[in-house]
A and B are shown apart, each in its own frame.
Chain A
């Protein structure tokens, strides 16, 4: 898997937008960027993924830079339930979907 780098922790005020950065400078042209989050003592939850274009769904938006070397996950209106560890993952493109989880970003939403 392409290596990703994320800040270890971030705080965000409740109701504000949470912007979580991820660097993936070794990403290949046809590798996707996936975001998952893990709330304490639960299994990871899929959030969003993208290749080149920005993506938006009911949970979040994903902004990928033009050179694809970094991306930002945006939670538009953070709530206390968004407190979790967020993982940015670039699976290898060999068709076996293996996910390598790094240490992620621990996002804490402050009331």
Chain B
């Protein structure tokens, strides 16, 4: 149980285009989903917290207009990187948890984005 998937697993795009990454909880309903970013040789950094049916909460320094998050259902959250630039190339990882408080987070396998 507690499986989280991401699609695509890797994507290459041209600078200036937008890329959508999907995060799905396969066997549970996720009230809360999180989006992280990991640059090479660094640890995971939280970008935003997404609650189903409400606007995402972004961490300081993360542009909400550039990283659009939609959590329209209890099993799906999407992250859209708009007008991607080479510096947005990174490993994007989502996680999901079932409840609102004190629940374990389960992580997806990650999406590697390369912007040319």
Give residues in A with beta carbon < 8 Å to B: 32, 34, 36, 38, 41-46, 49, 87, 93, 95-104
Contact = CB atoms under 8 A, between A and B. Distances in A.
Interface in B58-81: none
Nearest to A30: B102
Contact of B44 (A34, A44, A93): A44
B97 interface: yes
Interface residues of B, number: 27
A95 B46 contact: no
Contacts, number: 58
27 contacts: A34-B104, A43-B4, A43-B6, A43-B107, A43-B108, A43-B110, A44-B93, A44-B95, A45-B107, A46-B2, A46-B104, A46-B105, A49-B104, A87-B43, A95-B101, A95-B102, A96-B49, A96-B101, A97-B32, A97-B97, A97-B101, A97-B102, A97-B105, A99-B44, A99-B46, A100-B46, A101-B44
B28 interface: no
A93 B91 CA distance: 28
Contact of A46 (B49, B93, B106): B106
Contacts of A34: 104
Contacts of B8: none
Interface of B: 2, 4, 6, 32, 34, 36, 43-46, 49, 91, 93, 95, 97, 100-110, 112
A97 B103 contact: yes
B62 to A, nearest CB: 13
Main secondary structure of the interface of B (DSSP, over half): strand
Contacts of A104: 43
Contacts of A103: 43
B102 A43 contact: no
Nearest to A42: B109
Nearest to B91: A41
